[in-house]
Amino acid sequence: MLVDRANVAPKLLHWYDRHHRTLPWRAAPGEAAPDPYRVWLSEVMLQQTTVAAVKSYFAAFTTRWPTVEALAAAPDAEVMSAWAGLGYYARARNLIACARAVVDEHGGRFPSEEAELRALPGLGAYTAAAIAAIAFGQRAVVVDANVERIVERLFAIAEPLPKGRTAIYAATASITPDDHAGDFAQAMMDLGSSLCAPRKPACALCPLSEECAAFRAGEPERYPVKAAKTAKPVRRGSIFWLEAADRVLLCRRPPKGMLGGMRALPTGPWGTEDPGLTDAPIAADWRFVGAGRHVFTHFALDHKVYAARMESQDIDGEWWPIAAIEQAGLPSLFARAAAIGLAARETA
């Protein structure tokens, strides 16, 4: 027996009326659509990032830059610093570019058509569809990891990703309603984050269990089917805490690549061997003050932190007041290294 496609959206939307999450960027079901700027900002922040992590950043950004015009007018460095700690920093670079494109090319208003949204920096297939549906009430097929998992279970699609995406998109399209596509998409997210979770789905409470092929087959946890992961290599590097007159030397990372565009502590390239003091910014009386491991998406970095003082500030870089190091906008790796340098300073 096939899934009764016509039943899915009504059942899901009814469940959403009762069980929807209340979130700062979201309208309650049936309410007027929220400000497209806020929808866009939240969707970009939520890319591969948890709701819990996003909340404080969303509040800070919308307080400081309430409109897309305000954000477009902000200096790059301020936006990058405000994003520090949230990760995937290409999103922040694209956020700036997108805000300026909306102001310069669209008169400060986000386009309402999915295809036009898709052409903006940082907006891929998912985000463009989500904004079109949530902010503009368009019928758009919104497919993220939650939707993929739910749809694979509903239709028992066992073909591994990414090859299975074609079938998943078609199946999602077949259950997406003409009206309330925004609520439908958000309902799928809420269902995926609660009942239809990756592990131990709560099928007994699920409004779609009667329609679900995986549930009827007794194997909901079979999905999603994923390829095996490869082990993360370990790289090694040194990070340098160089201070002079109550300031510490910071630099800015190259615009692309790891932590691109972010303020940072000096560090050489990261490789398989411990570089020691090879890439130190200056010859000095360096002392080892601590070590750590930071795990990135596709490698881990074992790093050592070295500290030194010098008399002059005669070296290229940005001499940042140590007392304000928390405001430097350092990504987590360097924020932790700075904490090590700071602690060593107090015991020196």
Partner DNA sequence: CACCCGTGGAC
Partner DNA sequence: TGTCCAAGGGT
Residue 102 near residue 68, CB atoms below 8 Å? yes
> How many Cα neighbours within 13 Å face the side chain of 206?
27
Q: Which of 128, 168, 181, 195 binds DNA (CB under 7 A)?
A: 128
Residues 327-346 that bind DNA (CB under 7 A): 331-333
Question: Which residue of the set 31, 43, 318, 326 is catalytic?
Answer: 43
Handedness of CA 100, 101, 105, 108 (dihedral sign): negative
The answer to the question of residue 48 lying near DNA (CB under 7 A) is yes
108/121 with CB nearer DNA: 121
Q: Is 257 one of the binding residues for DNA (CB under 7 A)?
A: yes
Does position 313 interact with DNA (CB under 7 A)? The reply is: no
Contact region with DNA (CB under 7 A), list: 45-53, 151-159, 201-209, 306-314: 45-53
SS in 3 state form for 318-331?
EEEEHHHHHHCCCC
User: Smaller CB distance to DNA: residue 190 or 243?
Assistant: 190
Residue 192 makes contact with DNA by CB under 7 A: yes
The CA distance from 217 to 153, in Å, is 10
Q: Is 50 in the site for DNA (CB under 7 A)?
A: yes
Number of residues that bind DNA (CB under 7 A): 59
Q: Is 69 a catalytic residue?
A: no
145 part of the interface to DNA, by CB under 7 A: yes
182 contacts DNA (rule: CB under 7 A): no
Whether the upstream peptide bond of residue 254 has omega within 30° of 0, thus cis, is no
303 forms part of the interface with DNA (CB under 7 A): no
- The residue (of 98 and 308) whose beta carbon lies closer to DNA is 98
Binders of DNA among 264-293, rule CB under 7 A? none
Q: Which is nearer to DNA, 286 or 296 (CB)?
A: 296
Using the contact rule CB under 7 A, the part of the chain among 100-108, 157-165, 171-179, 243-251 near DNA is 157-165
310 scored as a contact of DNA (CB under 7 A) = no
Q: Which of 70, 74, 77, 86 binds DNA (CB under 7 A)?
A: 86
Site string for DNA, 195-214 (x = CB under 7 A): --xxx---------------
Contact 251/338 with Cβ under 8 angstroms? no
CA neighbours closer than 13 Å in the CB half-sphere of residue 28: 4
> Cα separation of 224 and 150, whole Å?
9
What Rg do the C-alpha atoms of the chain give, in angstroms?
24
Catalytic residues: 43
Contact residues toward DNA (CB under 7 A) are 21, 23, 25-26, 42-43, 46-53, 85-90, 94, 121-128, 130, 144-146, 149, 162-163, 165, 186, 189-190, 192-193, 197-199, 226, 229, 257-260, 294-298, 331-333
